[in-house]
A and B are shown apart, each in its own frame.
Chain A
Amino acid sequence: MTVAPTSTQFKDNAHEALNDARLQRALVHARNFIPRRSAAAERMPEFEALRDSARDIKNHTLAHLDLYLEAYEKKVLETGGHVHWARDAEHARKIFLDLCHARGAKRVTKGKSMISEEIGLNAALEADGVEAVETDLGEYIIQLRGEAPSHIIAPAIHVTRDDVEADFRKAHRDLPESRDLSQPEQLLAEARGILRDKFLTADIGVTGANFLIAETGTSVIVTNEGNGDLTQILPKVHVVIASLEKIVPTLDDAAQLLRVLARSATGQDMSVYTTLSTGPRRPGDVDGPEDYHVILLDNGRSAMLGGPFEDMLRCIRCGACMNHCPVYHQIGGHAYGWVYPGPMGAVLTPSLIGVAEGGQLPNASTFCGRCEQVCPMRIPLPKMMRHWREREFERHLTPAGARYGLGVWAFFARRPTLYRLATQAAMRALKLASRNRGRFASLPLAGGWTAHRDLAAPQGSTFQAQWRARSGATR
């Protein structure tokens, strides 16, 4: 597990993914979310209005983020918790390790958290001799495999049942070899048994947050397995790691956003567990942690405020964009090469690690617009991918060949007479070269196209020539 990006090698990664038969079999399941989401949206007549409201809530919050962050911190302190401000990944890791050292922690259980992935927490813990145990089933599986998540809500979507059985047999050596693991339920029961011990013996439980509520200092997580609850209630210390933009002003706002979150993600009306936690255990509470800490990560987000990528900070990590992305469908999440895949990753990755590192991702889109169509927060994802292409172009990061080709084309496109003559000449030449076959199986300079498909040859004359001929004839 690593946070070293390979996004610059996106094409190679994609090539590998396309030729990985096992991965291709597993990826079929990513599409199961599509009919479920649309059914959930259809069940709710006000769904579109809710999306507007969700967008407005986040826009308001982002416009006053400093105030809401301060209000949130104040409330957390009032309830007896602690807030740590982390400027970047390294800072966040250090804060967390210091907490581990202060408590002499040897074992940390973890609810699912993309921020933990973003800062590379597991690797840092292991290097420090602290055992990190992922308790979300999907995260547990990929931790055993030494992989990163390939989807932000279904981290092991690239893995098949057979893979999981093999991984469990390898990892759980104490269990009898003859045991039957042929059914998913058996795999689940085995993971549950192993994790139960870890829950009970962990020194620190760490969770992410779907929302942080300013008016109460509450963190909210949604899960379908209940692992988050055991992670945050059983150990003596609960650490929430979350990024700045998870803030919402009020409980009502969080409730509004919850109504679009699960519907957009899995098509559920609500996730199975929605858990709110506010501060450490109070006198008289039957359970809960003694210590409650929140690590608030910036890592490039405050720099996105007020700029062309601010809209991205509305993202609530539902995964709908990748579930509906034709590119993601073909290659899965690992090919994107860092933490966040799919359309949201294509916008966020260059924001967080730089356009030189992540610039391939916003280019690898057909701009089909389906991501924006389903985004519950109405984030204009294609528009922002195009913004990244503009940044690249301005900074001369666009490949020289593409830049040159574009320049030649633009020279003609800005000169109507020349353009008309050139297109006419090109049409004639292509038509002649096609030798009446109607198409080309290969053509010099068009190898990128003809490697995979035939290229139609032009027919007749240009539209403009025909138009002129017609209007001449009718006059």
Chain B
Amino acid sequence: MPTQTCCGQPAYNSGDRATARAIARQTILAFADCDYIVAPSGSCSGMLARHYPELFDDEPDLSREALAFAAKCHELVSFLVDVMGVSAVSARYDGVATYHDSCSGLRELGVKTQPRQLLASVEGLRLVEMQDSEVCCGFGGTFAVKYGELSNSIVTEKSGKIEASGADTLLAGDLGCLMNMAGKMQRLGRNVKVRHVAEVLAGMTDMPAIGEPETEPRK
């Protein structure tokens, strides 16, 4: 397994370009032998596929390398559909789910129809659309903490839309957004399970949903 750490997005979005570049170099070298680099996250994939080349736009050699690397990077679900040609999965999930379009996956990588297409093939699952599924959940990385009150206001609104959809399960393809929305709905006492879309597509929903206890909590 390549010696990977993080894609460096926290440094990049905090203005620490030097650290972001160092981590990007390390990542590009770590995956040099791979044909595809796949991440179960729209924002990490967006960092690799869209922003790495920007980090080196003043150095032609490194920029070329970053561009070649970027072309091999994919978000998980779009990789399955667009690259592997998967059109259906064999999985079962009994529930009504709604899918939140995480911003980076949607707007940087065009992830929109792919998860819906695969979810449609999951037995027992009914997909309903929430209003404004393309609107940000308010996570925004360090924004969620630096501007906690604002972030809270955005995710509170999002929680209302999720609840109004009537779904019992919320799915998305980005863990930051999922933790934000799960945390808010749990704080509000809403009874909606929150999962990464991959868990459902892989039929791995025997694990507890995000933020749920593994066994009954001790009293």
Residue positions of A touching B, CB distance < 8 A: 11, 14-15, 18, 326-327, 329-331, 363-370, 372-373, 383, 386, 388-394, 398, 402, 406, 409-410, 412-417, 419-420, 435-439, 441, 448-449, 451-457, 459-460, 464, 467-468, 471
Contacts and interface: CB of A to CB of B under 8 A. Distances in A.
A27 to B, nearest CB: 11
B155 to A, nearest CB: 7
A393 B138 CA distance: 23
B17 A390 contact: yes
Contacts of B210: 456
Secondary structure at the B interface, as helix, strand, loop or mixed, is: helix
B149 A435 contact: no
A416 B183 contact: no
B200 interface: no
B179 A455 contact: yes
B212 interface: yes
B103 interface: yes
Interface in B68-114: 103-104, 107-108
B146 A439 contact: no
Contacts of A435: 217-218
A35 to B, nearest CB: 11
Interface in B126-165: 134-136, 138-155, 157
Given A366-B141, A402-B14, A416-B30, 18 more contacts: A330-B157, A364-B143, A364-B147, A365-B143, A369-B107, A369-B108, A389-B13, A391-B15, A393-B15, A402-B146, A406-B16, A410-B11, A410-B23, A415-B5, A451-B152, A454-B186, A455-B179, A456-B211
Contact of B103 (A11, A368, A392, A459): A368
A438 B11 contact: no
Given A367-B103, A454-B186, A330 B1 contact: no
Secondary structure at the A interface, as helix, strand, loop or mixed, is: helix
10 contacts: A14-B149, A326-B135, A330-B154, A364-B143, A394-B15, A412-B5, A413-B19, A419-B6, A420-B5, A449-B145
B182 interface: yes
Contacts of B149: 11, 14-15, 18, 452
A409 B187 CA distance: 28
Nearest to B108: A369
A413 B187 contact: no
Given A414-B5, A453-B180, A373 B107 contact: yes
Contacts of B146: 363, 402, 448
Contacts of B155: 452-453
Contact of A453 (B157, B184, B212): B184
Contacts of B30: 416
A413 B8 contact: yes
A46 B64 CA distance: 33
B214 A366 contact: no
Given A398-B14, A438-B211, A370 B103 contact: yes
Interface string B1-38: 10111101011111111010011001000100000000
A28 to B, nearest CB: 11
B208 interface: yes
Contacts of A392: 15
Nearest to B215: A436
A14 B147 CA distance: 9
A403 B157 CA distance: 31
Q: What 3 pairs between A and B have smallest CB-CB spacing?
A: A366-B140, A389-B15, A453-B183
